[in-house]
Amino acid sequence: MKKMVIISIDAMGASDLSGDLEHLPNLKAFRNQATHVKNIRGIYPTLTYPSHTTIVTGEYPKTHGVINNTKIQPGRKSPDWYWYQKDVQVPTLYDLAKQAGMTTAAFLWPVTAKSKTIDYNIAEIFPNRIWTNQVIRSLSASSPKFLLEMNQKFGHLRNGIQQPNLDDFITACAVDTLLSKQPDLTMIHLVDLDSMRHRYGVLSTEAQAALRRQDLRVQQIIDATKTAGTFGDTTFVILGDHYQIDVSQMIRLNSLFAAQGWQKAKKDGTVAKGWQVYAKSCDGSCYIYVDRKSLVEPREIRELLKTIPGISHIYTTEQAGQKGAAPNVTFMLEAKRGYYFIDEAIGEVLEEVNPTTIGQPERYRAVHGFSPDKQNYATTLMINGGGIAKGKVIENADLIDEAPTFAKILDLNFPQIVAGRTLLEIFENNEEVPNEVLE
């Protein structure tokens, strides 16, 4: 049986894998043997949950349904995330794998909670990325017996949601599973680098250190397949979901709308029921929702938004849909570099991030969620295994191309024509393939 291990290094950008990589010896060695697609254009908004859903479906958010990390819950300080697979409206790579009789495993892969097609699943379920002491909830979202076993063996490695401990725990779980269960499809989501970039900045020493830790974790995972004797049958994929951009200014549109009387702020900074216009942040971009019963004219909203510095584009409903984002918004806004949107409804519309508040909700040194067309903002992809061209460099592809390409490697077929294309150029002998396609 062909096997695949997908390692997602959250927030790894194209520039992280450019250059000589002397400081990342394992990723360097991997790149030498792999096909490297240098620049992968993300999806809009370039957020973790929409992106990871695209990576396994080949569809844009407007089609797969995961249009943001969190749901529209204006009255809640900490809204629910799109945790559950039921939110994914199209088949996934792991669904196809399971249907073909393959065994499947996932380690904090977003939007897989309560999946019926993942045999060994540790689901990412709690806001702020992971369970704290809400063990029961995590158990019901994951494979309970498996999670208990992993907690028993490796629970000592983690410290709540703290990094780098969490990724150490997840790596240990993945290594153990590759050795003892030898799943056919394994998906691993490592978040250390993303956390450090948010907190310390894109090119901070802390982020560089996190990237070096990911380099070591990747090798532990690969080595596990060598010990298990499955290395030769396995295609390895190392990818990022998005990059990040440094920011210093917050934009609080709900404050602006409250001042217009279009909504009311509650004391805790959330928005009361009965709102007419609501801004839902995607960090580097922002959805604007107008209630059906609202009398506020979209034109009026647009004129007001034009007066706010830090907004680079105001997209219409149609334009947001064309870009693959949520199809039902009144507007979608793109922030200029250095700016990002927050949900809070109390405070100045524009405010510089106070460095002493970093680590509190919505306070960051770097974010994502911007348009995938921003400069120096691409993510990246490496594939290594039997039948994959060695040491080949491809300049550009799209995040939507990944799922159909992975399906092709595993001889699986999506039942529908997906938005992405199969990257036939990654295969060693791809001369004959275009003829097959033509037939």
Chain residues binding Zn ion by CB under 5 A are 10, 48, 194, 241
Rounded to the nearest 10 degrees, how much is the dihedral formed by the CA atoms of 282, 287, 292, 294?
Answer: 110
Per DSSP, the chain holds a count of helices (H) and strands (E) of: 14, 16
Rounded CA separation 305/308 (Å): 5
Rounded CA separation 409/427 (Å): 9
Element (H, E) at 7: strand 3-9
Contacts of 61 by beta carbon, 8 Å cutoff, 6+ apart: 43, 44, 45, 50, 53, 54, 67, 324, 325, 326
CB of 194 to Zn ion, least distance (A): 5
Nearer to Zn ion, 376 or 416 (CB): 376
CB of 25 to Zn ion, least distance (A): 25
CB of 347 to Zn ion, least distance (A): 26
Nearer to Zn ion, 65 or 240 (CB): 240
Nearer to Zn ion, 8 or 143 (CB): 8
28: left (phi over 0), alpha (psi -120 to 50) or beta: alpha
Nearer to Zn ion, 241 or 401 (CB): 241
Residue nearest to Zn ion (CB): 48
Nearer to Zn ion, 10 or 401 (CB): 10
CB of 283 to Zn ion, least distance (A): 11
CB of 47 to Zn ion, least distance (A): 7
- Buried-state track 200-218, b at ≥16 Cβ within 10 A, e below 16: bbbebeebbebbbbbbebb
Nearer to Zn ion, 48 or 255 (CB): 48
CB of 195 to Zn ion, least distance (A): 10
Nearer to Zn ion, 167 or 194 (CB): 194
> H helices of 272-355, where?
298-305, 317-322
The residue among 11, 5, 4, 6 whose CA lies nearest residue 240 is 11
CB of 245 to Zn ion, least distance (A): 13
Q: ∠ at Cα 299 (284, 362), nearest 5°?
A: 25
Nearer to Zn ion, 48 or 281 (CB): 48
Q: How many residues are recorded in the chain?
A: 439
Nearer to Zn ion, 257 or 341 (CB): 341
Q: How do strand 331-335 and strand 311-316 relate by DSSP bridges?
A: antiparallel
Do the beta carbons of residue 107 and residue 189 sit within 8 Å?
yes
Q: What are phi and psi of 381, to 5 degrees?
A: -150, 135
Rounded CA separation 69/87 (Å): 11
Nearer to Zn ion, 10 or 124 (CB): 10
Contacts of 94 by beta carbon, 8 Å cutoff, 6+ apart: 56, 104, 106, 112, 115, 117, 118, 185, 187
Do the beta carbons of residue 194 and residue 206 sit within 8 Å?
no
Q: Is 347 in a helix, a strand, or coil?
A: coil
CB of 349 to Zn ion, least distance (A): 27
CB of 244 to Zn ion, least distance (A): 9
The answer to whether the peptide bond before residue 361 is cis (omega within 30 degrees of 0) is no
CB of 294 to Zn ion, least distance (A): 33
Rounded CA separation 231/224 (Å): 8
Rounded CA separation 41/310 (Å): 23
Nearer to Zn ion, 69 or 117 (CB): 69
CB of 241 to Zn ion, least distance (A): 4
Contacts of 415 by beta carbon, 8 Å cutoff, 6+ apart: 91
Nearer to Zn ion, 139 or 247 (CB): 247
CB of 360 to Zn ion, least distance (A): 20
